[in-house]
């Protein structure tokens, strides 16, 4: 029996595995209830007295050898799982993850939102598929009004009442219909016009509409607000308002910012004048207020609208508006920005 025991001890010492199930099977084989060790413990009573001492020692040797073996194999296995685990080898050098860039339209849109939010404007949005009322009629452009021709409209199917909005002024109407003054909101979004695509114009582009309605709002408030905006966005505080016409505002104006004539690009961009036209604006026509359920005797307000694409071209010196919708990764990658 002693020989058998020694045989087992040498087998235990030889055993090795990196498989948890095999190690467990080994443990049960030796140390389990019906395992080899218990078998020998049960034999103890049959061992002649003079051999009991030696027998006991060798059985204990086997027990210790088996226990140590199981523990050390399990420990080895756990350590290797920690190292490679489900994440692979955590000590390998990392591969850099490519950071994406925001689209220049989004960058400029976010800059504009940021500037106006600092003076209390919230952000509102409306649908791109609009009805005639919100895009035209409520804005003082009744059917057959000649100003409708200024905006070549895409109609949805053949229904003349459903169209792709031609400007974000439609959101003004929706906002006034659903909110009571005081109102301070800007509405960024995509607009559509049936125009030939070229380096300077596209059949879809982006606008931000601004609307401010309260008691005693004046043209001076409009001018101050716009001057704050151009100073923040372009770093240019010199602006001028040229009389213009929009059906939804009275009086109406076109806003120019003085860009300067320092470089050759300034000359080219401003056609030698130093001035750049950046948006349309005006005092909201009392008729429009009435159409939207706001009493023009109690409230007045101003509105403005600008093209985001044009501003993005200006700020980033991009020469062709088509680049903004081609999704060329080499172009887009250049606009890594925090906005
Ligand atoms: N909706 C005009 C356009 O698309 C831009 C505009 C002009 C909006 C004057 C306004 C405004 O709110 O007051 O050309």
pLDDT tens, 288-299?
999 999 999 999
Q: What are phi and psi of 192, to 5 degrees?
A: -130, 135
Report which protein residue has its CA nearest ligand 1's atom 12.
304
Q: What whole-number distance in Å separates Cα of residue 27 and Cα of residue 167?
A: 78
Q: What is the pLDDT of residue 207?
A: 98
Strand, helix or coil for residue 77: helix
Task: Specify the pairing of strand 249-258 against strand 239-246.
Answer: antiparallel
Binding site for Mg(2+), residues? 250
Mutate to test the pocket of ligand 1, among 305, 309, 311 (most ligand atoms within 8 A of CB): 305
pLDDT bucket at 212, cuts 50 / 70 / 90 = very high
Of the candidate ranges 84-93, 230-239, 260-269, the one whose mean pLDDT is the lowest = 84-93
Cβ distance 255 to 237 under 8 Å?
A: no
Q: What is the pLDDT of residue 52?
A: 87
pLDDT tens, 23-32?
999 999 999 9
Pick the CATH number of 104-335 from 2.40.50.140, 3.60.10.10, 3.40.190.10, 3.30.930.10: 3.30.930.10
- Indicate which atom in ligand 1 lies nearest the CA of residue 306: 5
Q: What is the pLDDT of residue 338?
A: 63
Q: Is the pLDDT of residue 84 over 70?
A: no
Mean pLDDT of 78-82: 72
Ligand 1 proximity of 280 Cβ (cutoff 6 Å): yes
Q: What is the pLDDT of residue 145?
A: 82
pLDDT tens, 301-325?
999 999 999 999 999 989 999 999 9
% of the chain exceeding 90 in pLDDT: 69
pLDDT tens, 153-198?
999 877 889 999 999 999 999 999 999 999 999 999 999 999 999 9
- Indicate which atom in ligand 1 lies nearest the CA of residue 302: 13
Ligand 1 proximity of 140 Cβ (cutoff 6 Å): no
Q: Would you tell me the crossing angle of helices 36-43 and 49-84 to the nearest 10 degrees?
A: 170
% of the chain exceeding 70 in pLDDT: 97
Q: What is the pLDDT of residue 92?
A: 80
pLDDT tens, 126-149?
999 999 999 999 999 988 887 777
Specify burial of residue 260 (Cβ count, 10 A radius: 0-12, 13-18, 19+): middle
Cβ distance 62 to 51 under 8 Å?
A: no
Mean pLDDT of 254-277: 93
Residue where the block lists tokens 């207020």: 289
User: Which is more confident, 147 or 48?
Assistant: 48
Where do the structural domains in the chain lie, given as residue ranges? 2-87, 104-335
Which of 278, 279, 339 is CA-nearest to residue 314?
A: 278
- Indicate which atom in ligand 1 lies nearest the CA of residue 211: 12
Q: What is the pLDDT of residue 269?
A: 87
pTM: 0.73
Mean pLDDT of 91-111: 88
Q: Is the pLDDT of residue 17 over 90?
A: no
Report which protein residue has its CA nearest ligand 1's atom 8.
305
Report how far ligand 1's centroid is from the alpha carbon of 179 (Å).
20
Report how far ligand 1's centroid is from the alpha carbon of 104 (Å).
22
Taking all residues of the chain, what is their mean pLDDT, rounded to a whole number?
92
Which of 190, 191, 253, 263 is CA-nearest to residue 220?
A: 253
């Amino acid at each position: 029996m002693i020989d058998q025991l020694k045989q087992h001890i040498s087998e235990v010492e030889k055993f090795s595995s990196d498989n948890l199930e095999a190690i467990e099977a080994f443990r049960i084989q030796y140390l389990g209830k019906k395992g080899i060790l218990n078998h020998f413990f049960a034999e103890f009573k049959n061992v002649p007295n003079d051999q009991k001492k030696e027998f006991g020692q060798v059985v204990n040797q086997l027990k210790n050898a088996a226990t140590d073996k199981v523990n050390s194999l399990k420990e080895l296995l756990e350590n290797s799982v920690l190292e490679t685990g489900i994440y692979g080898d955590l000590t390998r050098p990392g591969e850099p993850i490519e950071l994406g860039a925001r689209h220049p339209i989004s960058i400029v849109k976010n800059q504009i939102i940021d500037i106006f939010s600092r003076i209390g404007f919230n952000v509102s949005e409306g649908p791109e598929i609009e009805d005639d009322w919100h895009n035209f009629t409520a804005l003082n452009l009744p059917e057959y009004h000649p100003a409708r021709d200024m905006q070549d409209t895409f109609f949805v199917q053949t229904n003349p009442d459903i169209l792709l909005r031609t400007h974000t002024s439609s959101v003004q109407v929706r906002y006034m219909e659903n909110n009571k003054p005081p109102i301070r909101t800007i509405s960024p979004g995509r607009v559509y016009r049936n125009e030939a695509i070229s380096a300077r114009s596209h059949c879809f582009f982006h606008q931000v509409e601004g609307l401010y309605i309260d008691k005693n709002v004046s043209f001076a408030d409009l001018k101050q607000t716009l001057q704050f905006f151009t100073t923040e966005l372009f770093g240019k505080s010199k602006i001028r308002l040229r009389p213009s016409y929009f059906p939804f505002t009275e009086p109406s104006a076109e806003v120019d910012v003085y860009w300067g004539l320092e470089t050759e690009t300034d000359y080219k961009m401003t056609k030698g004048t130093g001035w750049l036209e950046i948006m349309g604006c005006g005092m909201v026509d009392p008729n429009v207020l009435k159409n939207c359920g706001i009493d023009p005797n109690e409230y007045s307000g101003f509105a403005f609208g600008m093209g985001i694409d044009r501003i993005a071209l200006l700020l980033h010196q991009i020469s062709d508006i088509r680049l903004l919708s081609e999704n060329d990764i080499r172009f887009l990658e250049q606009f890594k920005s925090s906005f």
